[in-house]
Structure 1
Amino acid sequence: MKSNQEIQIRDPFIFVDRDSEKYYLYGSTDPNIWGEGIGFDVYVGKDLESWDGPYSVFRPDQNFFANENFWAPEVHAYNGKYYLFATFLRKDNQKRGTAILCSDSLMGPFLPHSDGPVTPADWYSLDGTLYLDDKGEPWMVFCHEWVQVGDGEICALRLSKDLKQAMDEPIALFAASEAPWPTSFRHPKRRNQDNYVTDGPFLYRAGNGELLMLWASFVDQVYAQGISRSTTGKITGPWLHESMPLFESDGGHGMLFHDLENRLHLTLHSPNKTPNERPVFIPINEKDGKLRRKDA
C-alpha cells in the first residue's frame, strides 16, 4: 500500500463508491505530465490515507488522437456507466481539449466515447468537468486557456444526452480577472499584456441549494484555490466571487466530496511543482452555503 506522501499526482479526483465502501483516486499520474502521455491510473483505498495501486485505467492505442499532455481525469457515474473527462493535446493541430471516455467499471478500461475533444477544435481548452442542471441536462464546464485569450475564462458547453458531442457554442461564464483574488503575470511571449489563469473548475451544490464553483488561479505566482457562486443557482450565472481564496499555500485544482461518514472534504494537489505533487485532503465546514477549512 502507498501513503499520500508516496503518490505523485496532480489534479486529484475522488469517486466515493458507497456500495463497496471504497474511495477511487484518479488524477494526472504520468511522471512528466508536460510531455509524452502514458495514460491514467487509479488508486483504491478505504480511509483517504493508504492506497492500493496504481492500477491502469486508460492506455492509448496507436490510433488515439493524442500522445501528449494527458491531464486532469474526472470519473462520473451517468446513466449506468462511468465517464472519464480528461484533457489531451491533439496530434493534428497541437491544441488541447477535453474528450470523454467510457467504461462499465471504475477500474476501467476506459475507451474513447466522444470523437476526440468536445471542446472547440481551434481553442486551447482544458479541465472539463460534468455538470447536470435541474432538468438533468448534461453540461461540460471547462477553461478557455490564458495561452490563447490572455485573461483565462471559464466556459459552459451543453452536451448531448449521450455525452458524445457539443450541442451549442460555449458560453463564457466569467474571466479570471473578474474575481478579486487572482493576480496577473507577464509571459515572455505576451510581454505587453497582463495574463490571468483559470484552472480546474468543479461544481458543488451546497446544502442550502446554492451552486458553487471551485476553481484555481495564482496569487503572486503561487497556486491557489478559490470559490465563486451563481446568483441564480443556474450554471449560466451570473457568478459572484469570494474575495479571498479558500486555499493559497501552493495548491489547487481541487474538488469537493463527502466521505463515507458524510463529512465534507476538499482534495487538491500540493505543492504545484513536478515531481513533488501530492494529494492533500482538507476537512471543510459548510454553513449557509459558505465553505471554510476546519484547519484555518
Structure 2
Amino acid sequence: MKISIGCFLLTLVLHTTGLMAQSGRTYQNPLPVEFGDPYVLHVAGDKYYMYGTGGIAKNGFAAYSSTDLVHWKDEGQVYYAANEHGWSDSTAAWNGAYWAPEVYAYKGRFYMFYSAQWKDNPTKELENFRIGVAVADRPTGPFTDISNRPVFDPGYPVIDANVLFDKNGKIYLYYSRCCYKHPVESEVAAWAKQKGWFDTVEESWVYGVELKPDFSGVIGEPVLLLRPPVKMDDKHAEWESRSVTSKEVNRRWTEGSVAFKKGDTYYMMYSANYFGGKNYAVGYATSKSPLGPFVKGANNPVLQKNVEKGGTVTGTGHNSITYSPDGKEMLCVYHARTSATGDQRVVFIDRMKILKDGKLVVEGPTTTPQAVPGSK
C-alpha cells in the first residue's frame, strides 16, 4: 500500500507541474520526466530530444521530445541492448548498468554514447563498465551498436561518456574511471581511517582522449584531467568529500563530465559525491586546451542541495547543457530529488551564465515558477 500511495503522489506532483507549465509562459521544476543523467540534443530546425538513465526503458534507453523544453513527449524506448551488435550483459549487476546516454548529430546521422556492463568479463568483476556507441538515422532511433565491442578497453571500468567536437576538427571523448578497486591515498582518506570509519577511500577520476573520426577507437593515451583534492586544506576538498566526511560511503567521485567551449576557454562541468545521496553536487573547471590542464572554479560548487536554505531539493547532479529556442539563454539540465519525489530522480532545467570574468553560474535549483526558456 505504501508503494502504491508513493507512486500516486509522485505522479500527482509531476502532473501538477505539467499543468502549471501549460497555464502560461512559465514553467516549474521538476519537469514531468522521471530518470537520471539527462542529456538534451537540439536538432536545428526541429526539436529537442532528451535521453537519460532508467525511466521506462528496460535494458536500454528511452527518449522524450519537446519544442520548448517545457512540454515533453514520451518517444518510448529508442535503444535496446539486444540489437544485432549488442556487446553488453543485461544479466550483470544493476541489470546491465545502462547509464548516461548522450546523442550527437554527426554527418547526417545520430550517435549515442553510453556505458554498460561488458559481457567479456573473465575475472567476473562486479563493475565491468565500458563505453559503447550506437547509431541511428533519427534521434528517436532505433539505435544499433556500431560494433560488437566497446569503443576501447582502458583496463578499468569506465562510465559517463561525453564528446566534444572541437573547431579544430578533432573529436575528444571524456569519461570517468570508476571508484571500483581504485583506492587512493589522500589526507581525507588518512583522516577517515584515523577516525575508524573507512580503511580505504576509493576515487573516480575524469580522463580525456582523442577519438577516431569514425568512433571505432581512440588516438593516443587517455589524459587525467580531474580528480578529488589530495589535501584537506584545498578549497574544493570540503564539498567534494562530503560522501566520506558524512560517513556515507568510502568513495569520492568525479564523474558526469560535460565539456564545451566559450571564446578561447574550455569549460568542463562535473559532479562529485554519491549519486544516490543528498550531497551530489556540480562544479566546473577551465582550460585553454581540450586535454587540460584544467583548473577548478573558485566558486564551486555551482549547483547543490538547497534544504539548508529552506528548500526541498537534494541530489543535484550529472548535468548537460543546452540553449533556449532563440539561442540566447544557456541552460543547465540535471537530475535531482525533492521531498515530494523521494528517491525518484526527476529532471530540472535552470538558467546558467558565463560571467564577464569567466565564472560559470547556475541559477538553481529552483522549484518556483519562472519564465519559459527564451521568453525573457
Task: Look up the match of 1:282.
Answer: 350
CA distance in 2, matches of 1:98, 1:157: 13
Residue type of the partner of 2:283? G
TM-score (norm 2): 0.69
Residue type of the partner of 1:196? R
CA distance in 2, matches of 1:159, 1:125: 15
Residue type of the partner of 1:65? W
Residue type of the partner of 1:240? V
What pairs with 1:241-256 in structure 2 (closer than 5 Å)? 241-243=296-298, 244-249=300-305, 250-256=315-321
Farther off after superposition, 65-74 or 89-98: 89-98
Task: Look up the match of 1:24.
Answer: 49
**Post-superposition shift, 1:186?**
5.1
Task: Look up the match of 2:129.
Answer: 96
Give the SS at the match of 1:177. coil
What pairs with 1:150-229 in structure 2 (closer than 5 Å)? 150-177=202-229, 179-180=236-237, 181-183=239-241, 185=243, 195-206=251-262, 208-218=263-273, 222-229=279-286
CA distance in 1, matches of 2:54, 2:36: 7
Aligned length: 283
Note the residue ranges of structure 2 that are not aligned, 5 or more in a row: 1-13, 19-29, 91-95, 183-201, 231-235, 306-314, 366-376
What pairs with 1:2-41 in structure 2 (closer than 5 Å)? 3=18, 5-20=31-46, 22-30=47-55, 37-41=58-62
* 1:27 and 1:41 in contact (8 A); partners too: yes
Residue type of the partner of 2:103? V
CA distance in 2, matches of 1:81, 1:246: 34
Farther off after superposition, 258-267 or 161-170: 161-170
CA distance in 2, matches of 1:221, 1:271: 8
CA distance 1:153–1:163, change in 2 (3 Å): same
| Higher helix proportion (structure 1 or 2) | 2
Task: Look up the match of 2:87.
Answer: 65
Residue type of the partner of 1:163? F
TM-score (norm 1): 0.86
What pairs with 1:82-93 in structure 2 (closer than 5 Å)? 82-93=110-121
* 1:173 and 1:238 in contact (8 A); partners too: yes
CA distance in 2, matches of 1:47, 1:76: 19
* 1:201 and 1:215 in contact (8 A); partners too: yes
CA distance in 2, matches of 1:161, 1:257: 24
Runs of 4+ with deviation above 6 angstroms? none
CA distance in 1, matches of 2:335, 2:108: 30
Task: Look up the match of 2:233.
Answer: none
* 2:242 and 2:279 in contact (8 A); partners too: no
Residue type of the partner of 2:241? T
CA distance 1:287–1:186, change in 2 (3 Å): closer
**Post-superposition shift, 1:54?**
3.5
Give the SS at the match of 1:50. coil
Task: Look up the match of 2:66.
Answer: 45
Residue type of the partner of 2:51? Y
Give the SS at the match of 1:167. strand
* 1:115 and 1:164 in contact (8 A); partners too: no
Note the residue ranges of structure 1 that are not aligned, 5 or more in a row: none
Give the SS at the match of 2:69. coil
Match of 1:292 among 350, 361, 367: 361
Match of 2:149 among 116, 120, 125: 116
Give the SS at the match of 1:252. strand
Give the SS at the match of 1:176. coil
Residue type of the partner of 1:16? H
Task: Look up the match of 2:186.
Answer: none
Farther off after superposition, 61-70 or 175-184: 175-184
| Higher strand proportion (structure 1 or 2) | 1
* 2:337 and 2:343 in contact (8 A); partners too: no
**Post-superposition shift, 1:185?**
4.4
* 1:146 and 1:198 in contact (8 A); partners too: no
* 1:124 and 1:148 in contact (8 A); partners too: no
Sequence identity, in percent? Answer: 21
Task: Look up the match of 1:258.
Answer: 323
Residue type of the partner of 1:138? I
CA distance in 2, matches of 1:99, 1:144: 15
Residue-by-residue CA offset, 1:80-130 (whole Å, 9 max, x unaligned): 211100010112214001111111111111110144222425311000111
